Structures are given as structure tokens and as C-alpha cells.
Amino acid sequence: MLLFINFPKWISAEIIPGLPIRWYGLMYVFAFVTTYIVFRYQAKKKEIKISADDTQSLFLFGIMGVLLGARLFSVLIYNGTSYYWLRPWLIFWPFSNGSFVGLPGMSYHGGLVGAIVGVLIYSYKNKRSFFELADVACIGIPLGYTFGRLGNFINGELWGRVSTSNIAVLFPFADRFSTNYQWVRDIADKLNIEYVVGNFVNLPRHPSQLYEAFFEGIILFLFMWFVIRRNRSKKYNGYCLSWYLIGYGVIRFFIEYFREPDSNLGYIIQFDNQANNPALFQTVLNLSMGQIFCLLMVVSGIILSLILKIKQKKAVEAINENRK
């Protein structure tokens, strides 16, 4: 019987061994291209009036915002130290110890904030409706996001919590646990993992990257495409964006229970002080940084929806009043 899955040995973070080109970076390209294709499909269906050249300009602003925001959030918030605050010139420095390492560490929530700022700037410069553009763009974002999480899996990073499920994966670069702890020995014994008491042992984890790719990516895309997009014309500008914020926030919030919080941050809100081992799922009362940002997304989506709905209602009432 398969007790857990070993991380595939044939998967390598580098596309060509020895060259600083990694699958994770290529996945970003796939993500942007996929989102662009979905956007242009909607434009060709006359769901928004925008030329191919203007779409490319829009995406340039959005992509720049994504990269800047994702990097800034990662090093200034998720890093958990003052290192980059004191050395801001290193935030976008792609070298370490004389080697090219790219920009390791990108935050989804930072990328979202950056993308919104980028589209806002484009909208202001080109006198376009921000919400009209955002409604069309956010339909394809989940499908593009799928590639990002696949890139995380290929890198063997952002693993989930320790699990005894038979679909749990033994990630080669995951943090090891001391067998001095009884809970570590209990899990290792249950999974027939050999160890020496006092040494450190690697334990299987939830493949939370794949959970996110499926639910936050594919499932959310299908919901946005077949449910929200079809009702867009009957609603108000900002309708799709509101539902994207709510949908992603809700799905990611619950998946975070399967994903291990950043070790340098741990739990940000901890209502149950007895459940203080972030490597295990022990309670729903303790929340990670990602869950806090997700709650903010959900609240923002709800508030935005209510404001825009009220604004549209008043506009319709004003039009009806003028017709009398």
C-alpha cells in the first residue's frame, strides 16, 4: 500500500542544468500569456472595446505592477526581518554571493495590489474605466495563476503541513524535524520511515501548491468564466472584480489550513495558544499572514460590491427621474 508519494526525481527547478533559467520564471510567462489570451478572446467577442495595441499597453502596466508588488510584499512583509528594510537597494538585486539567483520570493497578495495600482495608472492616463478593464482582466487571472503554483511545486517550495495521507508528498528540500519530539516519531512510525532518535527526519507534506493550482486556479476560473462572466452585462462595472476578490479570498483562506505558515512568521493571530505547532493542522483558530490577507480580500470584495451596487441604483434612479 502506498503510504505517501516521493517527490519525482525527474523534476528539476532548472530547465537546462547549469543555466540560470528556471521553470518558475517560465511559469510566470505562461501565466501572463494565458491571461492575455483570455482577455483578447473577450475583446474579440465585443465584451470590451479595446485594441490589441492598447491591450498590450494595459498588460505592460499590469505586469510591472505585479512584479513590483509581489517582490516588495515578499521581502518587506513576508521576510519577517528588517534585512531589506535596511538594505532597500538589494530588493531587486538578482545576484547573491556572485551567482545569479533571480528574484526568489514573490507574494501573490503583493502582486494583486501591484496589478491594481498598475491598471489604475493605465486607466487614469488613457481615460478608461478602471472597473471595466478590471472586470475583463480578472476573468483569466485564475487560469494564469495555475501556472504559478505549478512552478512552486516544481521548485519544491511552499509545501503544506505534515500529513499521513497517501497523497502526501515527501519534498526533498522541506524542513526536517527532530526525532526528539514524540509527535515526529509517531508519524514516522506510522509511515514506516526509518530514523535514529536524536537525528532529524523528513516527513511527507500536503502538496498544497497543487491544491491551490486546482481550486484557486482551475475551479475559480470555471466559476468566473461560466457564472460571473455570463451575468456581467446585467450587472455593474466592478461586478467581476468583486467576485474575484471574494472567491479567491474564500478558497485560499481554507487551503491555508493545509499549507504550512512561513516559518519566520508563524501564526499572526493565535487564539489557541496550545496549538502552537505550525507544521501540523491543530485548530482553525490560529491564522497565518496569508489568511489575514485573504480575509481582507473577502471584506474588500463585499464592500466594493455594495458600494458599486448602491452607486448603480442611484444612477438608474437619476436617469428615470430625468425621463419624467
Q: Say what the pLDDT of residue 100 is.
A: 67
Residue with cell 498590450: 56
Q: Are 157 and 60 in contact (CB under 8 A)?
A: no
Residue type for position 125:
K
Number of residues that make up the chain: 324
Rg (CA), the chain: 22
Alpha-carbon gap, residue 98 to 125, rounded angstroms: 40
pLDDT at 79: 83
pLDDT in tens, the chain (324 residues): 678 999 998 888 787 776 667 788 889 899 999 999 999 999 999 999 999 999 999 999 999 999 999 999 998 988 878 888 888 888 888 777 766 666 667 899 999 999 999 999 999 999 999 999 999 999 999 999 999 999 999 988 889 999 999 999 999 999 999 999 999 999 999 999 999 999 999 999 999 999 999 999 999 999 999 999 999 988 889 999 999 999 999 999 999 999 999 878 889 999 998 888 999 999 999 999 999 999 999 999 999 999 999 998 887 777 777 776
Q: What is the pLDDT of residue 95?
A: 75
Q: What is the DSSP string of 142-205?
A: HHHHHHHHHHHHHHT-S-B-B--STT-EE-TTSPPEETTSHHHHHHHHHTT----TTSEE---B
Its pTM stands at 0.92
pLDDT of residue 19: 66
pLDDT score for 314: 83
H or E element: which one contains 257?
none
User: What pLDDT shows up at residue 312?
Assistant: 87
In whole angstroms, give the CA distance from residue 235 to residue 214: 28
